[in-house]
Structure 1
């Protein structure tokens, strides 16, 4: 199963048609077992929907079922949970566990998220084409720290020459922002306030409205109703004040890294652009990729280039839509060091993520579901609202309780 949401599926075929196609390819297919797996998973509810119209999590579940229905002895999954929301991630791992238990199939799984190592029996940590550590998962204590220690410090620690700035106390204020497509509410009555120096995380499943909110605030989407102000103003050209890294790669695949950065630097009206490109690409370790076409770059490197294009003009307000999706632990650490630098110099950062362990890095978080804000506050405040006295739960468990109260036990570890 290749990397990418639904990458092994056919976009124009429905859920049912995709599954029937892959079932017919295999002489080993057990229709009864196939139907049992199929009905126990989310895609069955949308059997007539085309693959291209499925959420990322639903696509990945369909892609996994389409792979295991062929009943191979070894299954290779390339980053199956990248870009997938917490509930879909749990369901994907359950499908893997079940098929492994029922058939004794060996799974080889690649992931950028080392915390998933606890789901595996054996682990190999790879960097620059070499295995830096390996062994039984239970024998490798703190795999992420072990991985980072094996890499020289200059790969992780770096700084940008950001000046200290002063912004208005309130940098973002929205009042009942709503976006409707026909009868579908992509965003409904969203009211949030964000202050200078804040790092705010938008957390939610696929289709929760995170991207819609960010696109509305950056001017990419026009809202149906509601009002918002950025830096105390509304309805003006904000190009020089904001940076935006979109969920889908906003880069031009047929242009080199250098050409992409020149284009964005021109759009952002960056002074002394060649010097700024040199500073940013040096910081993000991109100089050796300057002449590569972006379509030829691995996902993690493309994410770094997209991040570079968003911060090239050292914006006052940074919008990042799933910036750490698909990146390795080193790049993830680098992104977060830069995000902290922006906040410490008076700037503000609003970012969306599927990975709830990142909530601890935020000053506040916002849970979204089906276009609405379910809860907002610090991670401790949000956990306290849904936990019992003396109960110790984490942010992911709290999130699941907010969006799946009727079946919360089903989704908790």
Structure 2
């Protein structure tokens, strides 16, 4: 049955698989996303994130698996999903030689929306595009192009947004504005599945999934992912860090050593072994102490030893 506003689960799929030739791009993926949730979808390039998103909105059919999106079957009712989804691609996909207003009017016509003029005017005002309304889209900065694209994909009042690396190449201030708007939409009950490479963006999601080369490696809230990793991290400060790095990496019980500014973050699963390894190499001018494991360290750990 279609989602009626009372159903809490917007995406509920099991074993979704897509194969191109002899390559499995998405391998038996399970995912459940709730209404009003901002769900982050992370992973390196070529990991199947875009393919999975396209299967959810009916642009590709899975080769195996089952499930529903917005209450519709992703295989037999894919045409019913499309009108209820707002899809934002990695690259700006509107018309550069049309103005902001003309682009939005074109989309309103395509969706056959009533009261086009009023709807477009309201969207322009709501998204702060007033001063650019009659400006060609190609002349906008990356951040304003992104805002126009988000305006376009929400014009028809979708229940679900599928946003494929929407802030790539956009400056930090524009990224923050974008995420503020996504959270505003979530408060209205609009669900978002967002693929991103930025760890600070991932931390703004309610829950996360990490996919690598077609396989789901981890999923959960930020706190759950860090706790489930089993990693402990120490921060090391002082002189000689560059020289110490390879020796620390070779030490028993240390899984990763990463430079963060003027410090080293040393991580592993055995706190005693980490401390022992640092003590053996640190000099009298070095200081070290336990610190919080970051999401980036969790994902680096997940990727170690994995290849396409």
Q: Is TM-score (shorter-chain normalized) higher than 0.5?
A: yes
1:344 is matched with: 187
Instruction: Give the 5 Å matches for 1:264-343.
Output: 264-343=107-186
Change (3 A) 1:267 1:237: farther
1:404 is matched with: 304
Return the structure number with greater helix share. 1
Change (3 A) 1:255 1:222: farther
State whether structure 2 residue 194 is matched by structure 1 residue 355.
no
1:198 is matched with: 37
Change (3 A) 1:361 1:167: farther
1:210 is matched with: 49
1:238 is matched with: 81
The unaligned stretches of length 5 or more in structure 1 are 1-164, 408-413
1:157 is matched with: none
Q: Distance in 1 between matches of 2:62 and 2:103?
A: 29
Q: How many residues align?
A: 243
**Secondary structure of the equivalent of 1:237?**
helix
Select the structure with the greater relative contact order (CA < 8 A; seq sep ≥ 6).
2
The list of structure 1 runs, each at least 4 consecutive aligned residues, that deviate by more than 4 angstroms after superposition, is: none
Q: Distance in 1 between matches of 2:111 and 2:215?
A: 32
Offset, 1:391: 5.7
The unaligned stretches of length 5 or more in structure 2 are 233-270, 272-289
1:50 is matched with: none
Preserved CA contact (<8 Å) 1:217 1:228: no
Preserved CA contact (<8 Å) 2:49 2:211: yes
Offset, 1:244: 1.0
Q: Distance in 1 between matches of 2:29 and 2:132?
A: 40
**Secondary structure of the equivalent of 2:91?**
coil
The one of 255, 259, 262 aligned to 2:105 = 262
Change (3 A) 1:406 1:166: closer
Aligned CA-pair RMSD: 2.1
Change (3 A) 1:308 1:348: same
Question: If the length of structure 1 is used for normalisation, what is the TM-score?
Answer: 0.55
The one of 11, 32, 53 aligned to 1:172 = 11
Q: Distance in 1 between matches of 2:35 and 2:141?
A: 34
Q: Distance in 1 between matches of 2:187 and 2:153?
A: 18
Return the structure number with greater strand share. 2
